[in-house]
């Protein structure tokens, strides 16, 4: 491609960061010194254009090393990958974790989202900003949910360098957060993942039984606790047999849409187009959700094994694990686990000696809630802006790189292990008829023991909150996160199943259960939700791009109003919300108004 | 990089006729009556020593009338146009092989082909919208190969770019041919059925091993081999070229060498497989089709064919000279020896577009009489005795033009010409009337219908049908149907009668550029176009392109360092013919020993003072693409910038 | 009789639009079918030479059984589909989309939009005087064309025309996210430092006048732009031999704008810098 580059040149450090990812440039056309051979023969074309998917890893490489992405660095990366600089600029500016303007090497992300806001994030933030002003060498950024709700309020420090360093402070104090930002290496270690599971070690857990029990770094420990029996069973059953088991188990997707997993696998497996891809959606960004993080940090091999099984069943030889950019510990655990599995022949050309080839590549997100949408995630992996695609065609037909793709979230995949080890009938006997199996819930807010809970489908909201130790003065519970809905404190008998929540006019979503007492003003929470969607709208379609702005404006206007004074704006919210739900391209716009609507209708906000 | 401050020459329209009594006098304004009378007198007294420069920029209808003027009024076949400076070798080569001088494929076909070879063509800059069709092809999965001394914007899209030495196209082509034969990839069925001279060709290319070709062209053997295999193995392949092939002293041989590859592999005469020379001017195809060339009558019909001549003689009520006329190059030579004394030049600017421009100006000055008909007072018009203000063919007149894919399309009058400017056809007819031929053409369509009546290839193209189909490609012999988008499908016919004349392999030898590099002139200068500028810049200078930076001598970074010159620094550029000063530009697409200039800004830097008038003996095109030069730092460094 | 290959014949399929039977070739969109049936559905981001982006959502219709409304411009017709174009639900979304756009973007030069605002009884003022707008100043950084992003509805058409669908120059992209997303060149630089080759193919597809010839921009500013006094004449470009068709827009014997027919087999609506802007020489009349 005849790309245009400006005069900006990369620094040695930026060049080294890119070369560390891509290897040294092969010719002067890619950025090496000029040689006579280059001036006689140059390769390009299809092969050169086919590496676009390394753009996002390349941006990470620069950002990790330098802390921001300069013109020269971006141009060099583009030259290496044959990507137009304008497009790369469009991609770089899409993600919240990247900056195309100079900034300090250390960025402290302070969560100001729902659970943290309820736990004093505004004061924390103000305190930190006072200590880490200009010249402190730290850039403080108010962040959407960091997925650390069980330890709210939370802060995440990222210091660019070689290697990049991170430190988590949660629950954070001003002192701890400042320490984490100014000396990430000497900040205290995070508590083990098991501490996020109040039930850890209890009998009968199927998804969490190893979390807090096994050494997450040890493949042998994993195998000593039943690891890789499911994969062996899968090879006995054959791909069709695995799909039959998963179909018969009644497993449905745990990401929120509740689509039958077996059907999705079958549809992908039967596509004649090749290759097939498996994508694990670990871009857990729904405010209030942190179960996938806990699973990945506490039992990483389970995900590796489950992805291998899913790939085997659907005819994929390559799996992509799209991991949220704000999950540094999950990244390290999984990088280690994948390397170990590869070393032991559990990934690679001949998995378990069965003649099946499968490998997993981790791709990091970079701060975009929308990339949790399955087709936006494909675009993100492919090196484009994380904008959702129009469906149909659906991913099973044209997904990643335009090929048949099965995409599942972490929790869904991990459910496959017990299905294969205990068999579909036994699994299907758990839970209710239409919601089978165990379910993970992310409980946070005003409860004594926040964390991830595993309960069979069918337990009530009250059961769950009792386990977590709900505090007095419960005002409302948010189910399903920012895209979910509020229920009242007197609705605790709602059964936590897909059908039960649907009947009650709410949603289970991704399993968020966030409790609020009356200490937090409801309008402020609703405004935070509206801000979240305004910030996270990709901007592609009008109803969502402008609608989220108009909704936030209306909620600002009525923050201090009630009754007739708010009526006009509530009518406006409803009209705009209806168009967003009906006419937006993807689930983000379609659900952005759900929580606010439920607060008005169910909780009587602004009355 | 900042653009230097330039005050480029802009041309304003001619609004009234200009005459003068002697060449050393200034022009004075004249009435049309006076100007035309003078022109008629000047031409009449030089009957028998007359040449017509027709215009590759004007309509088919104007070209038809212009050649008719030459043949009927002046009784000569000395009519030609600037196609001589660019693509005459393509026409000559293609007609030698296939009997017809047009590209064999259509733009749309390149979107549905498998392999595209762009040889000596920076279409990305010179033919941007054609390149969009190429890009569609690439997006549809075609693999493109580029053969060019420079790694141009076009080449940057290629799977593989082969940076050969200037003027080594025949060794490259022969080596590719030999490799195809030796690898068993030749299309024997096609060779057997549709070609002649294969055995001779096989013997011709046999010495051109990959390693010998590597020595001569500078391109690694592996790259040549890969291109050979890709082209031969493709189910469909397109071979496109531009002036990098034709503007050589042996341009027609170069074209033949490329055509050989299509004959060897059967990549011609099928949908998606063909040969595509990209024409450089809006109607350079049509000018030739209309007979504004010395060897063909309208409809590309051979003058030497008595039946054809008879047809035209009865249609025009005249006698047509039974021999070829002089081409543009030969006419210039005839000026030198005094056998050509009067020229009627319509819309051309040979004073700046010819190679070795000093020589061209000297020869034009030697004429007894020069009448120039143009929209601007060009450098050529400044040399004239009579200047006639004309209309801009594309926006101020009605008619048709023919593009590179042989598509005849309507041009329409959108604006009224300034002042007293008149349509070319009307002016020519008024002159013809003064010289005893009273032609009546009510409008352009009347001219077109006369052309249709004498040209079978155009017969089916009524104005109404051209409108309906947004242009029609020739041949179009019937008013009822359309022919395939590609030519020479006949070559695939099993029946020898329908197959027609077979296509001969061209037996052509490598002949290096005439202007050799040596110690005194160590740098090879080649020329080309830029995206936003055009030819001698008379038209394109009129708009404010943000991309335009004027003329530079473009050097490789290595040479710039060797000579200790920087971007913007004025240097002396000298060839064996002339010397100019030009500022330096550094282009990483060039290698050491290779320099590049354009002919877009002759009023700033007269590039053609450097180029060599070494002409292709068959087509008459000069070797613009290969001069030997040297670069010298000026004693006092001047940096523009 | 024609010998030109016509491609593989397409199968026909049947479905209903507003209760009436429609028969279209496989692969047709709902919009294709609606237009064939003479139904006027508003569109903004749809372009006849571009793949549907379905970003503006003003063409949404109701399809029986679908959870949400569907964009007519991109959704392919399926056998047996029941499409309704004028339901209250569809009209509501169109109205709100028009209100959202008109309240944030300068639509003063967008053809037909005033009529739609009226037809759908849209009231863009209802979001109040403080409703956020784009608030962009026209970018005038070259002599050929102006980018007035205050008029940009982010339809992506310019990006697609500059990108892999036609020009493959990739000078522009959408940068930023959400309401702050803007069309930008790399590093948000001036156009003159970018990859732009000034083909103007972005102007050709811009549906709102955000991109316009400098001549049009200046004449509008001076109040002399008058389309009722303009003629449009299609002719052939005067430069290279490709033979691109140009439509010259002439006002008072001056060429003021150049476009190209979108259905032309040579150009498909695209031109290069010379064809689009290189007309000035004919009107250097001294």
Please state, as a whole number, how many other Cβ atoms lie within 10 Å of the Cβ of residue B305: 12
Any chain A CB within 8 A of the CB of B151? yes
Same domain, C150 and C54: no
Any chain A CB within 8 A of the CB of B142? no
Q: Which residue has the tokens 């080839």?
A: A357
For C243, name the nearest residue in chain B, comparing CA atoms only.
B403
Find the helix or strand (DSSP H, E) in which B410 lies: strand B407-411
In the structure, what pLDDT confidence band is assigned to residue A414 with cuts at 50, 70 and 90?
very high
Q: Tell whether C60 is covered by a domain.
A: yes
| Contact assignment for A3 to B223 by CB distance below 8 Å | no
Whole-angstrom distance between the N-terminal and C-terminal Cα of chain B?
9
Is pLDDT at C5 greater than 60 in this prediction? no
Sign of the dihedral through C-alpha A544, A546, A551, A552: positive
| Contact assignment for B538 to C235 by CB distance below 8 Å | no
Q: What is the mean pLDDT of residues A338-362?
A: 97
For A391, name the nearest residue in chain C, comparing CA atoms only.
C75
CATH code at position C189: 2.20.25.90
| Contact assignment for B409 to C265 by CB distance below 8 Å | no
Secondary structure string (H, E, C) spanning B557-581 = HHHHHHHCCCCCEEEEEEECCCEEE
Any chain A CB within 8 A of the CB of C129? no
Same domain, C151 and C278: yes
Any chain A CB within 8 A of the CB of C101? yes
Same domain, C165 and C219: yes
Any chain B CB within 8 A of the CB of A32? no
Any chain B CB within 8 A of the CB of C50? no
Is pLDDT at B211 greater than 80 in this prediction? yes
Q: Taking CB atoms and an 8 Å cutoff, what residues of chain B touch C268?
A: 132
Any chain B CB within 8 A of the CB of A394? no
Any chain A CB within 8 A of the CB of B216? no
Same domain, C107 and C154: no
At B314 the pLDDT is: 96
For C5, name the nearest residue in chain B, comparing CA atoms only.
B484
All structural domains of chain B: 18-82+282-473 (3.40.50.740), 88-278 (3.40.228.10), 523-633 (2.40.40.20)
All structural domains of chain A: 12-92 (no CATH), 106-191 (3.40.30.10), 219-428 (3.40.50.11540), 438-517 (3.10.20.600), 522-602 (1.20.1440.230)
| Contact assignment for B407 to C233 by CB distance below 8 Å | no
Domain count, chain C: 2
In the structure, what pLDDT confidence band is assigned to residue B85 with cuts at 50, 70 and 90?
low
| Contact assignment for A89 to C173 by CB distance below 8 Å | yes
* Pick from C1, C192, C240: CB nearest B126: C240
In the structure, what pLDDT confidence band is assigned to residue B608 with cuts at 50, 70 and 90?
confident
For B150-182, how does the pLDDT look when each residue is reduced to its tens digit (9 = 90+)? 999 999 999 999 999 999 999 999 999 999 999
For B60-74, how does the pLDDT look when each residue is reduced to its tens digit (9 = 90+)? 999 999 999 999 999
Same domain, C124 and C149: no
At A453 the pLDDT is: 98
Same domain, C168 and C232: yes
How close does chain A come to B562, measured CA to CA in Å? 15
Distance CA A52, CA A41 (A): 23
A604 is written with which tokens? 């009587």
Distance CA A246, CA A265 (A): 9
- Provide the CA B246 distance to its chain's centre, in angstroms: 8
Same domain, C173 and C244: yes
Where among C131, C157, C191 does a domain terminate? C131
Instruction: Give the closest residue to B132 by CA, choosing from B113, B161, B110.
Output: B110
In the structure, what pLDDT confidence band is assigned to residue B640 with cuts at 50, 70 and 90?
low
Range scoring the smallest mean pLDDT among A591-595, B81-85, B551-555, C175-179:
B81-85
Percent of chain A with pLDDT over 70: 100
| Contact assignment for B588 to A44 by CB distance below 8 Å | no
Q: Tell whether C139 is covered by a domain.
A: no
At A304 the pLDDT is: 98
Name which of C73, C106, C170 to mutate to probe chain A: the one with the most chain A Cβ atoms within 10 A of its Cβ: C170
Any chain C CB within 8 A of the CB of B409? yes
How close does chain B come to A40, measured CA to CA in Å? 4
Same domain, C29 and C99: yes
Sign of the dihedral through C-alpha C30, C36, C38, C42: positive
For C68, name the nearest residue in chain A, comparing CA atoms only.
A582
* Pick from A28, A40, A46: CB nearest B219: A40
* Pick from C60, C69, C178: CB nearest A535: C178
Is pLDDT at B146 greater than 60 in this prediction? yes
Is pLDDT at C4 greater than 50 in this prediction? no
Full residue range of the structural domain in which residue C89 is found: 9-131
Is pLDDT at C2 greater than 70 in this prediction? no
* Pick from B161, B222, B223: CB nearest A44: B161
For the entire predicted model, the pTM comes to 0.95
ipTM attached to this prediction: 0.95
Any chain A CB within 8 A of the CB of C104? yes
Is pLDDT at B7 greater than 90 in this prediction? no
Same domain, C98 and C21: yes
For residues B234 and B528, the answer to whether their CB atoms sit within 8 Å is no
Q: What is the mean pLDDT of residues B27-44?
A: 97
CA distances to A559, B326, B332, B362 from B340, rounded to whole Å, are 93, 10, 8, 14
- Average pLDDT of chain B to the nearest whole number: 93
Any chain A CB within 8 A of the CB of B225? no
CATH code at position C30: 3.10.20.740
* Pick from B12, B413, B547: CB nearest C197: B547
How close does chain C come to A91, measured CA to CA in Å? 7
Is pLDDT at C3 greater than 70 in this prediction? no
Any chain A CB within 8 A of the CB of B156? yes
Q: What is the mean pLDDT of residues B320-333?
A: 93
For A365-388, how does the pLDDT look when each residue is reduced to its tens digit (9 = 90+)? 999 999 999 999 999 999 999 999
At A527 the pLDDT is: 96
A66 is written with which tokens? 């330098």
Q: Tell whether C4 is covered by a domain.
A: no
| Contact assignment for A6 to C186 by CB distance below 8 Å | yes
Range scoring the smallest mean pLDDT among A24-28, A235-239, B348-352:
B348-352
- Average pLDDT of chain A to the nearest whole number: 96
Please state, as a whole number, how many other Cβ atoms lie within 10 Å of the Cβ of residue B215: 12
For A212-240, how does the pLDDT look when each residue is reduced to its tens digit (9 = 90+)? 999 999 999 999 999 999 999 999 999 99
Is pLDDT at A401 greater than 90 in this prediction? yes
Distance CA B492, CA B187 (A): 12
For C147-171, how does the pLDDT look when each residue is reduced to its tens digit (9 = 90+)? 999 999 999 999 999 999 999 999 9
> Chains contacting B with at least 3 CB pairs below 8 Å?
A, C
Same domain, C112 and C164: no
Distance CA B575, CA B582 (A): 13
* Pick from C240, C254, C270: CB nearest B127: C240
Residues 6+ apart with CB under 8 A from A112: A121, A122, A125, A142, A143, A144, A528
How close does chain B come to C189, measured CA to CA in Å? 14
B14 is written with which tokens? 């001619």
| Contact assignment for B415 to C236 by CB distance below 8 Å | no
Q: Tell whether C92 is covered by a domain.
A: yes
Is pLDDT at B120 greater than 70 in this prediction? yes
Is pLDDT at B91 greater than 90 in this prediction? no
Same domain, C105 and C180: no
Residues 6+ apart with CB under 8 A from A477: A445, A461, A465, A486, A487, A488, A489, A491, A492, A513, A514, A515, A516
Q: How large is the C-alpha radius of gyration of chain B? A: 24
A192 is written with which tokens? 């083990």
Same domain, C155 and C276: yes
Percent of chain C with pLDDT over 90: 93
Q: Tell whether C153 is covered by a domain.
A: yes
For C213-255, how does the pLDDT look when each residue is reduced to its tens digit (9 = 90+)? 999 999 999 999 999 999 999 999 999 999 999 999 999 999 9
Name which of B277, B395, B470 to mutate to probe chain C: the one with the most chain C Cβ atoms within 10 A of its Cβ: B395
For residues C76 and C28, the answer to whether their CB atoms sit within 8 Å is yes
Q: Tell whether C136 is covered by a domain.
A: no
* Pick from A536, A538, A547: CB nearest C100: A547
Is pLDDT at A252 greater than 60 in this prediction? yes
Where among C77, C98, C131 does a domain terminate? C131
How close does chain B come to A72, measured CA to CA in Å? 16
For C284, name the nearest residue in chain B, comparing CA atoms only.
B12
Is pLDDT at B57 greater than 90 in this prediction? no
In the structure, what pLDDT confidence band is assigned to residue B2 with cuts at 50, 70 and 90?
very low
Q: Tell whether C231 is covered by a domain.
A: yes
At B8 the pLDDT is: 64
Any chain B CB within 8 A of the CB of C96? no
In the structure, what pLDDT confidence band is assigned to residue A45 with cuts at 50, 70 and 90?
confident
Any chain B CB within 8 A of the CB of A33? no
Instruction: Give the closest residue to A95 by CA, choosing from A125, A126, A133, A57.
Output: A57
Is pLDDT at A86 greater than 90 in this prediction? yes
For A7, name the nearest residue in chain B, comparing CA atoms only.
B1
Is pLDDT at C1 greater than 50 in this prediction? no
At B544 the pLDDT is: 87
Q: What is the mean pLDDT of residues A328-338?
A: 98
């Amino acid at each position: 491609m005849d790309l245009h580059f400006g005069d900006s040149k990369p620094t040695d450090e930026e060049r080294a960061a890119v070369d560390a990812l891509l290897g040294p440039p092969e010719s002067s056309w890619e950025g090496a010194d000029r040689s006579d051979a280059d001036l006689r023969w140059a390769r390009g074309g299809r092969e050169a254009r086919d590496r676009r998917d390394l753009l996002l890893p390349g941006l990470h490489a620069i950002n990790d090393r330098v802390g921001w992405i300069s013109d020269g660095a971006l141009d060099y990366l583009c030259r290496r990958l044959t990507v137009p600089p304008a497009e790369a600029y469009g991609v770089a500016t899409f993600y919240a974790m990247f900056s195309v303007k100079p900034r300090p090497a250390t960025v402290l992300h302070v969560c100001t989202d729902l659970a943290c806001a309820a736990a004093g994030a505004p004061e924390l933030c103000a305190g930190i900003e006072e200590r880490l002003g200009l010249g402190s060498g730290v850039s403080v950024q108010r962040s959407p949910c960091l997925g650390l709700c069980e330890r709210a309020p939370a802060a995440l420090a990222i210091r660019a360098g070689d290697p990049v360093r991170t430190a988590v402070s949660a629950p954070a104090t001003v002192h701890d957060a400042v320490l984490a930002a100014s000396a990430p290496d000497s900040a205290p270690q995070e508590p083990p993942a098991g501490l996020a599971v109040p039930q850890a070690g209890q009998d009968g857990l199927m998804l969490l039984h190893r979390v807090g029990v096994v050494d997450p770094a040890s493949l042998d420990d994993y195998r000593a606790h039943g690891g890789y029996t499911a994969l062996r069973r899968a090879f006995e059953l054959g791909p069709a047999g695995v799909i039959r088991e998963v179909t018969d188990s009644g497993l449905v997707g745990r990401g929120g849409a509740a689509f039958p997993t077996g059907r999705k696998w079958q549809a992908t497996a039967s596509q004649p187009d090749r290759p097939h891809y498996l994508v694990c959606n670990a871009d857990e960004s729904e405010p209030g959700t942190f179960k996938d993080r806990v699973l990945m940090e506490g039992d990483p091999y389970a995900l590796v094994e489950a992805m291998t099984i899913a790939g085997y069943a659907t005819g994929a030889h390559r799996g992509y694990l799209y991991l949220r950019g704000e999950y540094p510990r999950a990244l390290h655990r999984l990088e280690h686990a994948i390397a170990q599995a590869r070393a032991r022949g559990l990934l690679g050309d001949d998995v378990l000696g069965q003649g099946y080839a499968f490998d997993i590549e981790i791709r990091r997100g970079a701060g975009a809630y929308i990339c949790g949408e399955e087709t936006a995630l494909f675009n993100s992996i492919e090196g484009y802006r994380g904008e959702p695609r129009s469906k149909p065609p659906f991913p099973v037909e044209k997904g990643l790189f335009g090929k048949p793709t099965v995409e599942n979230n972490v929790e869904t995949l991990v459910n496959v292990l017990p299905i294969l080890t205990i068999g579909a009938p036994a699994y299907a006997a758990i839970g209710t008829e239409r919601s089978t199996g165990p379910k993970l819930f992310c409980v946070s807010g005003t409860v004594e023991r926040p964390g991830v809970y595993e309960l069979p489908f069918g337990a009530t909201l009250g059961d769950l909150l009792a386990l977590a130790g709900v505090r007095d003065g419960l005002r409302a519970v948010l189910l399903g996160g920012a895209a979910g809905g509020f229920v009242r404190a007197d609705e605790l008998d709602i059964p936590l199943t897909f059908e039960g929540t649907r009947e009650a006019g709410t949603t289970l979503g991704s399993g968020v259960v966030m409790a609020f007492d009356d200490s937090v003003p409801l309008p402020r929470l609703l405004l935070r939700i509206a801000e979240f969607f305004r910030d996270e709208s990709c901007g592609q379609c009008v109803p969502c791009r402008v609608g989220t702005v108009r909704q936030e404006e209306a909620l600002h206007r009525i923050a201090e109003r009630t009754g007739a004074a708010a009526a006009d704006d509530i009518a406006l919210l409803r009209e705009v919300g209806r168009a967003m739900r009906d006419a937006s391209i993807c689930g983000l716009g379609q659900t952005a108004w759900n929580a606010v609507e439920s607060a008005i209708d169910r909780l009587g906000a602004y009355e | 990089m900042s653009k230097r401050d330039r005050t480029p020459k802009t041309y304003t329209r001619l609004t009234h006729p200009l005459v003068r009594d002697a060449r050393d006098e200034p022009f004075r304004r004249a009435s049309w009556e006076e100007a035309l009378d003078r022109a008629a007198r000047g031409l009449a007294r030089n009957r028998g020593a007359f040449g017509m420069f027709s215009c590759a920029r004007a309509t088919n209808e104007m070209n038809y009338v212009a050649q008719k003027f030459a043949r009927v009024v002046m009784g000569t076949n000395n009519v030609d146009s600037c196609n001589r400076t660019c693509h005459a070798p393509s026409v000559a080569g293609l007609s030698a092989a296939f009997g017809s001088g047009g590209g064999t494929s259509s733009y749309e076909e390149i979107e549905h082909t498998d392999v595209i070879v762009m040889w000596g063509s920076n279409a990305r800059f010179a033919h941007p919208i054609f390149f969009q069709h190429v890009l569609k092809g690439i997006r549809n999965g075609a693999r493109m190969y580029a053969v060019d001394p420079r790694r141009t914007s076009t080449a940057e899209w290629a799977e593989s770019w082969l940076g050969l030495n200037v003027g080594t196209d025949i060794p490259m082509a022969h080596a590719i041919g030999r490799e195809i034969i030796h690898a068993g990839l030749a299309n024997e069925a096609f060779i057997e059925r549709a070609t002649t001279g294969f055995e001779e060709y096989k013997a011709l290319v046999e010495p051109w091993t990959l390693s010998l070709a590597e020595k001569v062209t500078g391109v690694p053997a592996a790259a040549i081999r890969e291109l050979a295999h890709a082209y031969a193995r493709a189910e469909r392949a397109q071979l496109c070229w531009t002036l990098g092939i034709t503007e050589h002293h042996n341009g027609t041989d170069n074209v033949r060498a490329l055509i050989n590859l299509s004959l060897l592999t059967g990549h011609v005469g099928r949908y998606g497989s063909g040969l595509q020379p990209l024409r450089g001017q809006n109607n350079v195809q049509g000018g030739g089709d209309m007979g504004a060339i010395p060897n063909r009558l309208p409809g590309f019909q051979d003058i030497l064919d008595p039946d054809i001549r008879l047809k035209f003689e009865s249609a025009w009520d005249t006698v047509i000279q039974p021999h070829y006329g002089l081409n543009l190059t030969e006419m210039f030579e005839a000026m030198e020896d005094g056998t050509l004394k009067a020229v009627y030049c319509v819309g051309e600017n040979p004073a700046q577009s010819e190679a070795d421009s000093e020589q061209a100006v000297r020869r034009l000055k030697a004429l007894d009489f020069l009448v120039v008909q143009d929209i601007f007072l060009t450098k050529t018009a400044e040399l004239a005795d009579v200047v006639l203000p004309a209309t801009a063919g594309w926006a101020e007149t009605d008619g048709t033009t023919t593009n590179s894919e042989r598509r005849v399309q309507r041009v329409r009058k959108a604006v009224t010409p300034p002042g007293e400017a008149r349509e070319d056809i009307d002016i020519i007819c008024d002159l013809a009337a003064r010289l005893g031929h009273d032609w009546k053409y009510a409008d352009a369509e009347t001219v077109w219908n006369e052309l249709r009546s004498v040209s079978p290839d155009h017969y089916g193209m009524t104005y109404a049908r051209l409108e309906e189909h947004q242009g029609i490609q020739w041949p179009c012999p019937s008013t009822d149907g359309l022919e395939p988008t590609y030519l020479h499908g006949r070559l695939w016919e099993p029946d020898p009668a329908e197959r027609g004349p077979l296509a001969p392999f061209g037996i052509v030898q490598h002949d290096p550029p005439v202007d050799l590099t040596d110690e005194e002139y160590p740098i090879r200068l080649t020329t080309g176009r830029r995206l936003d500028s055009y030819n001698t810049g008379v038209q394109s200078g009129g708009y404010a392109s943000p991309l335009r930076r004027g003329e530079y001598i473009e050097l490789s970074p290595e040479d710039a360092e060797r000579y200790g010159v920087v971007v913007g620094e004025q240097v002396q550029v000298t060839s064996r013919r002339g010397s100019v000063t030009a500022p330096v530009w550094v282009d990483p697409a060039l290698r050491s020993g290779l320099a590049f200039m354009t002919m877009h800004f002759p009023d700033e830097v007269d590039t053609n003072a450097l180029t060599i008038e070494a002409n292709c003996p068959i087509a008459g095109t000069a070797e613009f693409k290969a001069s030997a030069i040297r670069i010298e730092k000026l004693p006092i460094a001047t940096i523009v910038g | 009789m024609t010998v030109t290959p016509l491609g593989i014949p397409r199968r026909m399929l049947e479905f209903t639009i507003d209760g009436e039977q429609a028969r279209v070739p496989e692969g047709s969109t709902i919009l294709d079918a609606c237009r064939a049936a003479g139904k006027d559905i508003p569109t903004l981001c749809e372009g006849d030479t571009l793949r549907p982006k379905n970003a503006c959502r003003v063409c949404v219709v109701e399809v029986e059984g679908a959870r949400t409304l569907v964009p007519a411009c991109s959704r392919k017709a399926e056998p047996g589909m029941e499409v309704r174009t004028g339901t209250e639900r569809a009209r509501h979304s169109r109205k709100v989309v028009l209100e959202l756009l008109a309240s944030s973007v300068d639509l003063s030069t967008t053809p037909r939009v005033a009529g739609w605002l009226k037809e759908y009884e849209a009231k863009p003022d209802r979001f109040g005087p403080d409703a956020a707008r784009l608030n962009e100043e026209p970018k005038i950084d070259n002599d050929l064309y102006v980018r007035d992003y205050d008029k940009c509805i982010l339809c992506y058409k310019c990006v697609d025309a500059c990108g892999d669908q036609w020009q493959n120059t990739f000078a522009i992209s959408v940068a930023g996210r959400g309401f702050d997303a803007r069309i930008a060149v790399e590093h948000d630089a001036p156009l003159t430092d970018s990859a732009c080759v000034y083909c103007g193919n972005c102007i050709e597809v811009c549906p709102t006048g955000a991109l316009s010839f400098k001549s049009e921009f200046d004449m509008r500013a001076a109040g002399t732009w008058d389309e009722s006094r303009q003629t449009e004449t299609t002719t052939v470009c005067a430069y290279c031999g490709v033979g691109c068709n140009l439509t010259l827009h002439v006002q008072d014997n001056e060429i003021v704008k150049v476009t190209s027919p979108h259905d032309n087999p040579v150009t498909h609506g695209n031109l290069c810098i010379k064809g689009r802007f290189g007309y000035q020489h004919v009107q250097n009349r001294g």
